[in-house]
Amino acid sequence: MLSKEDNELLSRVGPGTPAGELLRRYWYPVARVADLTEEQPTKIVRMLGEDLVLFKDKSGNVGLIQDHCAHRGASLLYGRVEERGIACAYHGWLYDTKGDCLECPAEPAGSKFHMTVKMRAYPIQAVCGLYFTYMGPLPAPALPKYDIFVRRDGRRSLQLRGIVDANYVQAMENSVDPAHLQILHQRTAARGRPITDTTRGFTDDVQSFDFYLTDYGIMKKRVYTDGTIDEHPLIFPNILRQGNGIEIRVPRDDTHMWIWELRFHPTENGEEVDPNEPPELVATEPHKDKYDVIHPDAVYTMNRVDAEDYWAWETQGALPDRSIERLASSDRGIVMFRDLLKEQIEKVQRGEDPLGVIRDPNHAMIDTNLSHSLIVEVGLFPPTPAIATKW
């Protein structure tokens, strides 16, 4: 269990909160590159409790800026994109991608007033068909070169998997909770295998599981009774790398998150593909009948692995009281993650870089055990050697 004070410490993501300041040391996807078009050059984004506008000006520069104009608070979602940036539709105050005000049209000729105006703005990078942003103190660290981002021997697909009404901690605890796989997902992931005991599911297929720290997070290791070993990581603080995919849980605020998934599909003979080739965009299926309605009023589909996971996270409560839970021996990965989260918050408070932050933009590719996952098909109980598919 967590004390109520520690639960607040780990869960709150807004500006100035301890976890929020930690989370701002990492890069996050905010939208698909395909979302900004000539016809629709702006998009509203809610990230870490902040309302922001993503825009692409007529010079091709992409920026992420606070939604409310510094003048009198009108929304820049309706701003006019120009060659130099985005102009508020109300009084024309013009901002560039760095948040600098370039012009206040109604001020007297020669006025330098605009030079005193500054908006919150965050850098943007395009990777694998996604715009990523960094919302922490400058200089920004490097955007990590995870293998699934930069390997050239395959193509990629991209999906906004869900908008989930829960705190991000539920999702990350799920990533180090191996006990739920063979029980919660016994029907959707068994692929026709008969279920003889719905209480135990396929728990007896697992001989043991363990966890160990890596340079970028926590590796989860599951050993099956047939000798098969499956290892895939939680990339700290908000990513699950499993099967052929990387699932990025992006906190919108304390009680909502976006979930993006990028999948890697190897070419048949290892032919190289430009990693900047636009990924195939995959449609999203809802996990419940009404968006933004939660338990007990929502009706969950429970017909896919991801829908079952989202049901589990949401019905714990949008921000659950962890002081009343009863943890068991199988929850040691969850305890490990919580301890790690608290340790990294304390590092940031001491002015240090937290786990996984990289300063060298020319660093080598980061091996997240993708090659192993492409051999072990973790969707079966127990897994069998094959090219992985996402279950």
Q: Is the peptide bond before 139 cis (omega within 30 degrees of 0)?
A: yes
Residue 4 covered by a domain: no
Residue 172 covered by a domain: yes
Cα distance between residue 42 and residue 56, in whole Å: 7
Residue 264 covered by a domain: yes
CA pseudo-torsion sign 318, 42, 133, 24 = negative
On whether both 279 and 246 belong to a single domain, the answer is yes
On whether both 234 and 349 belong to a single domain, the answer is yes
Among 113, 134, 155, identify where a domain stops. Answer: 134
Cα distance between residue 5 and residue 134, in whole Å: 28
Phi and psi at 122, nearest 5°, equal: -130, 145
On whether both 329 and 355 belong to a single domain, the answer is yes
On whether both 302 and 380 belong to a single domain, the answer is yes
Cα distance between residue 21 and residue 309, in whole Å: 27
On whether both 105 and 186 belong to a single domain, the answer is no
On whether both 111 and 239 belong to a single domain, the answer is no
pLDDT, position 349:
98
On whether both 253 and 361 belong to a single domain, the answer is yes
On whether both 225 and 254 belong to a single domain, the answer is yes
Q: How many CB atoms lie within 10 A of CB 134?
A: 21
Mean pLDDT (10-residue bins), the chain, 391 residues: 93 98 98 96 98 98 98 98 98 98 97 97 97 98 97 95 94 96 89 89 93 96 92 97 95 97 93 91 93 93 94 96 94 97 98 98 96 66 35 25
Cα distance between residue 154 and residue 152, in whole Å: 6
Helices vs. strands in the chain: H and E counts, helices first? 8, 21
Tokens representing 292 are 């933004």
Among 112, 134, 156, identify where a domain stops. Answer: 134
Q: Is the peptide bond before 320 cis (omega within 30 degrees of 0)?
A: no
On whether both 45 and 98 belong to a single domain, the answer is yes
Cα distance between residue 330 and residue 334, in whole Å: 9
On whether both 124 and 158 belong to a single domain, the answer is no
Domain with residue 330: its CATH number is 3.90.380
The answer to whether 385 touches 372, Cβ cutoff 8 Å, is no
Cα distance between residue 27 and residue 124, in whole Å: 9
Q: pTM value?
A: 0.93
Domain with residue 98: its CATH number is 2.102.10.10
The angle at the Cα of 161, spanning 235 to 159, to the nearest 5 degrees, equals 90
Residue 92 covered by a domain: yes
Q: In which domain, by residue range, is 155 found?
A: 147-385
Residue 155 covered by a domain: yes
On whether both 95 and 123 belong to a single domain, the answer is yes
Residue 164 covered by a domain: yes
Cα distance between residue 127 and residue 349, in whole Å: 30
Among 134, 166, 185, identify where a domain stops. Answer: 134
How many domains, in total, are found in the chain?
Answer: 2
On whether both 284 and 307 belong to a single domain, the answer is yes
